[in-house]
Amino acid sequence: MHNLPLLERSQTAKQRYFSMASSSEIGLLVNLTWLVLDSNYLSSSIPPEFFAELRSLEHLHLQDNHLTGALPSEISALRSLVDLRLNATFLNGTIPTEIALLAPNLEHLDLSSTNISGSIPSELGTMTSLTWLKLDNTQLSGEIPTELSNLAVNGSLARFNINDTHVSGEIPSDLCAVPDFHFDCSFDLCGCFCVCLSLAHGNWQISLLDDFNVTDDGLWG
């Protein structure tokens, strides 16, 4: 692999032989724009040096692996990244605030079905290029930062998944006032009913939202 410095796309999805031990060699592929390694039974943590030289990378797919450990803050080096998929792994720790440095190019961020915990960084509110933000089925807690309203009101966010988490409290009202916005949340979020829905003629009416879904984690508020 170290003899292929001009390689722009690498895909080994579902091959079940790739190892993160090869990350030092991948780092030599400075022109790589696509790296698809999903479903390869990767079972180690992501070494920080993995991101060192991949400055041209636009698509990074590491989902459906046995990756462990925290997401390194060094991921902020991938300033050309458009699509980041780390879902269905065993990643833990918190979301590094440095991930906000991936703006203005990152459009798709998927951290769903992981063991990531802590609160949602308010810095995500600066990533106005995001169209998809998937944080569902994680150990995240706390409230949705009001700064995230900026993603839908002044940005391009079209879908936000936060169901099956420990996130609670009220949803920022601005998120519910955006047409064609897909929002998937849990009953734990009081705002799912208190803000986004209105009772009319004895029936719950969805106003403005293009798609709205709640799951039964226990309504409060």
pLDDT in tens, 101-146: 999 999 999 999 999 999 999 999 999 999 999 999 999 999 999 9
The DSSP symbol for 151 reads H
pLDDT(197) > 90:
no
Please tell me whether residues 39 and 98 are part of one structural domain. Answer: no
Query: Distance (Å, rounded) from C-alpha 169 to C-alpha 210?
Result: 22
Q: Is 79 within the bounds of a domain?
A: no
Partners of 161 in the beta sheet? Answer: 134, 184
pTM of the model: 0.81
Domain-embedded: residue 84: no
On the question of pLDDT at 217 being above 70, the answer is: no
Domain containing 164: what range? 92-215
pLDDT band, residue 214 (cuts 50/70/90): low
Are both 29 and 135 inside the same structural domain?
no
Nearest to 130 by CA among 109, 147, 115, 150: 109
- Tell me, yes or no, whether 111 and 185 share the same domain: yes
Number of domain units in the chain:
2
Decide if 81 is inside a domain.
no
Quickly state the pLDDT bin for 168 (edges 50, 70, 90): confident
Indicate if the pLDDT at residue 85 is higher than 70: yes
